[in-house]
Amino acid sequence: MKLCRSTILPFTLALVVATTLAPGRAAQAPQAQATVRFTAMDVLLDVGDTPVAAYQIHVTTSAGDVTLVGIEGGEHAAFRQPPYYDPKAMGQNRIVLGAFNTGSDLPRGTTRVARLMVRVTGDTPPAYAATVQVAASPDGKPIPNAAVSLTESEGADQ
């Protein structure tokens, strides 16, 4: 038996109409789009009076659907370049950042060492945590009182 286009086309259209308009089949409502916003988190390192020459910081997310989309450097010239990071950690809701500078003009006190650009999907507010794994002075000694904090960047998309 040979079928021609003039037979197949009406049959196909009838099949499509019958399956989409079948009795008892409820019309499906379009799925709601998830809310998406972009923001930036400043990574602030406080080393007190000791100049900081190197650091490694661990940042995690414990709530919210957060995707890291970019990393910028800090505000002080010593850490203006984006920090090194572990790309394998990024897929696990965490990031490990690190940087060093062998110069003599190093920051003291609290300074922004990085800015994390993130995409937040959904209505669940993100929850972040950060820890200093190591901070060191120019002579290579650990800075025991080093602390890290995260703040949403001013001017970030709300």
Residue 1 has pLDDT above 70, yes or no: no
What domains are there in the chain, each with its CATH number? 36-152 (2.60.40.680)
At 34, phi and psi to the nearest 5? -70, 145
Closest CA to 69 of 99, 113, 39: 39
Closest CA to 80 of 58, 56, 106, 57: 106
pLDDT in tens, 81-126: 999 998 877 777 889 999 999 999 999 999 999 999 999 999 889 9
pTM score of the predicted model: 0.75
pLDDT of residue 21: 47
Write the CA distances from 48 to 74, 75, 102, 114, 156, integer angstroms. Answer: 17, 17, 19, 18, 27
